[in-house]
Amino acid sequence: MRFSFLGISVCIERNDRRSRAFSNVKIDGAATYKLHFGPGPNWSKPDVTWLAVDADPRRGDLVVDWNQCQRLPIRDSGVSHIYGSHVFEHMSIFAAPRIFKECFRVLSSQGVMRLVLPDARKSVEKYLEGEDGFELFRRRRERAMHRGVSYTRWECMRECFLSASQQQKVLGSETLAHQNAWDFETIERDLLRVGFSSVEQSAFQSSGQSAFSFEGCFESEANEDYRSLYVEATKS
């Protein structure tokens, strides 16, 4: 079933993982919002202007299948800030540029998007240096052991690029979690390509935007600064 919402064709087949995007809440067409992509279960909204964007209908105000979504159900320039921690790598190499373009479209002038991504370059460096004791590798090895699998160092590193989804009930079986990866040079280029005027490397809890002050205040992969890449992009 589909209906037209603010001029956008919206799919409301909530149990169909192939659906593109729909609103779980009433969107005020005149309001300016902030978006948090994949906030996880521990985040609390700082105020009512924040909308959670998630593939899981139980968590998302905007429910989006990353790899199928063609358009976010938000008007042009209707968002002032976007935050996403360890979620954009869950979008395929084909979908991510489209989602970045949508983020640029919905951001208002001087709007800021803050991304926290797995630092794939660091994992590659640790792999080449033979650092089996790297915290991320150790954790992945222990998780594999719970499944009765003994990971090589390569397999530990590879999960920065490709890993199995833990959301089978939402996304289906035999689906991927990680399916994309960046270093700073590459994410900078991807964001400039869709129109962002400025892309800067940041650090944990080092944003100049007060809207992102919740970073580090709840349990999140964003807090794992030893293996995360922090980036802020501004729309002129």
Q: pLDDT tens digits, residue range 126-168?
A: 999 999 999 999 999 999 999 999 999 999 999 999 999 876 6
Rounded to whole angstroms, how far apart are CA atoms 132 and 7? Answer: 53
- Would residue 144 count as lying in a domain? no
Range of the domain at 107: 2-119+177-234
For residue 119, the 8-state DSSP code is: B
- Would residue 152 count as lying in a domain? no
The proportion of the chain whose per-residue pLDDT surpasses 90, expressed as a percent, equals 85
- Would residue 124 count as lying in a domain? no
- Would residue 182 count as lying in a domain? yes
- Would residue 134 count as lying in a domain? no
Q: What are the residues whose beta carbons fall under 8 Å from the beta carbon of 211, sequence distance 6 or more?
A: 34, 46, 80, 81, 83, 112
- Would residue 54 count as lying in a domain? yes
Count how many domains the chain has: 1
- Would residue 90 count as lying in a domain? yes
pTM of the model: 0.89
- Would residue 37 count as lying in a domain? yes
CATH of residue 10's domain is 3.40.50
What mean pLDDT is reported for the chain? 91
Q: Show contacts of 51-54: CB within 8 Å, 24+ apart.
A: 51/25
Q: Which residue has the tokens 């919402």?
A: 5
